[in-house]
Amino acid sequence: MARKKLYYLKTDKVSGISNPMEWMLEDGTPYVGPYHIYKSTGEVYTEMGYIDNVSKPLIPFENATEEDEINISLYNKLTNYEFTKEYETPTPFTPRPTESDYAVGFIERFIICKFNSPLQLVEVSPKIFPNIDPVLYIKQTFEWRIAKLRYVDVQSVIDTNRKTLSFIKQSIPNIERYYTNLAEFSK
């Protein structure tokens, strides 16, 4: 940073050695050492006199308040959690219902959607679903009705799954475009 004036009178400058917690550098680093002040402009620099490319501007020392400390602590807690947790990369998954799933009559499905890309839906496995970043993705689980069609009417399966999707549509608006076969996995 350049000085405000090109020329200063010798009587305009006052030099001294700073005390702890008197001055700090512009980046907030406390400074203890020689300094000088120009009375006419109020500028304060490191060193006893101005030396090009060596003297650095000083500002009055400000101690962080208790509120600042609380905010910094809260920020660190939040960012440490967000930045240290390792999230899984979403990979597409197609469920494979078992005979026990057919006996129960439904399977649980896991769908995610990027907050900023509502058309990008991905069905993921139950194994990685908990490890998907909730800041980037809308996450939804739901029960999908399946049946052996010789025992159940296909239209009841379709109606149930349509109602399920209409409920999920509140959080994932384009889900009906992703699941077009409402009798999927029924056989």
Q: Residue 163: give the domain boundaries.
A: 99-178
Q: Give me the mean pLDDT over the 135-143 stretch.
A: 92
What does the pLDDT look like over 1-28, one tens digit per residue? 567 777 777 788 888 888 888 888 887 7
Alpha-carbon separation of residue 45 from 31, 60, 62 (angstroms): 11, 11, 17
Q: What's the confidence (pLDDT) of residue 20?
A: 83
Confidence tier at 82 by pLDDT (50, 70, 90)? very low
Residues 167 and 106 in one domain: yes
- Residue 151 located in a structural domain: yes
The total domain count for the chain is 2
- Between the two ends of the chain, the Cα-to-Cα distance in Å is 76
Which region among 35-44, 55-64, 97-106, 139-148 has the lowest average model confidence (pLDDT)? 55-64
Residues 50 and 103 in one domain: no
Residues 164 and 109 in one domain: yes
- Residue 105 located in a structural domain: yes
Q: Can you tell me the distance from the alpha carbon of 60 to that of 3, in angstroms, rounded to the nearest whole number?
A: 17
Q: Give me the mean pLDDT over the 139-157 stretch.
A: 90
Q: What's the confidence (pLDDT) of residue 186?
A: 86
Q: Give me the mean pLDDT over the 151-174 stretch.
A: 91
Note the Cα 60 to chain centre separation in Å. 34
- Residue 124 located in a structural domain: yes
Strand partners, 35: 16, 46
pLDDT at 132 over 70: yes
Lay out the sheet containing 23-25: strands in order across: 30-31, 23-25, 58-60
Q: What percent of the chain has pLDDT over 90?
A: 36
- Residue 184 located in a structural domain: no
What does the pLDDT look like over 47-68, one tens digit per residue? 888 888 888 999 888 776 666 6
pLDDT at 88 over 50: yes
What does the pLDDT look like over 102-124, one tens digit per residue? 999 999 999 999 888 888 899 99
Q: What's the confidence (pLDDT) of residue 70?
A: 66
Q: What's the confidence (pLDDT) of residue 73?
A: 64
pLDDT at 131 over 80: yes
* Helix and strand totals (H; E) in the chain: 4, 9
Backbone angles phi, psi at 169, to 5 degrees: -55, -20
41-69 exposure pattern, b = at least 16 Cβ within 10 A, e = fewer: eebbbbeeeeeeeebbebeebeeeeeeee
Q: What percent of the chain has pLDDT over 70?
A: 87
Residues 173 and 124 in one domain: yes
